Amino acid sequence: MKNLLFIIFIIFCLNSYSQEVRDNSGRLEGRWSDTDYRDSSGRLSYRIDNSGDVRDSSGRLILRVSGSDFRDSSGRLIGRLNKDDVRDSSGRLLGRISDNGDVRDSSGRLLGRANGISKEKAAVTFFFVNML
């Protein structure tokens, strides 16, 4: 029984760490759960529902994610995620998200890390919420 509890504890710790968003110096910026992004203080910043709507903590629609497209609250295309590249609506490179979670700007400078988080959530966090 002790071994089972220890294994559950380790899995919980690894899962918690893998959902962290860190800046380029390694400081904790926030944390994703399934649908919620909370800042480093634990306050809800925004959430993504099943339809891809991103809403702020008061429930106001701020962004829509549909496949690889990111749209503002009025439906206007603001960007796209293509495999690793994040681009604005005119195709200009905003940055890249590697498979290991490193997020870099268009010049290749490290913006932060989003290990274990989907590239869509990383793009929302590092690029598109900040555009609005």
Residue pLDDT, tens place only, 21-73: 999 999 999 999 889 999 999 999 999 998 999 999 999 999 999 989 999 99
Residue 87 clears pLDDT 90, i.e. is over it: yes
Measure CA 91 to chain center. Answer: 20
pLDDT at 10: 41
From residue 30, give the alpha-carbon distance in Å to each of 1, 82, 91: 33, 24, 28
pLDDT at 1: 52
pLDDT at 34: 85
pLDDT at 5: 37
Contacts (Cβ under 8 Å, ≥6 apart) of 67: none
Nearest one of 131, 127, 117, 123 to 35, comparing CA atoms: 117
Residue 88 clears pLDDT 70, i.e. is over it: yes
Q: pTM of the prediction?
A: 0.79
How far is the C-alpha of 98 from the C-alpha of 124, rounded, in Å? 15
Give the distance between the most distant pair of CA atoms in the chain: 57
Q: Which pLDDT band, with edges at 50, 70 and 90, does 103 fall under?
A: very high
Span of 17-21, 62-66, 92-96 with lowest mean pLDDT? 17-21
Span of 17-21, 22-26, 105-109, 117-121 with lowest mean pLDDT? 17-21
What is the average pLDDT value for the chain, to the nearest integer?
86
C-beta of residue 38 within 8 angstroms of C-beta of residue 31: yes
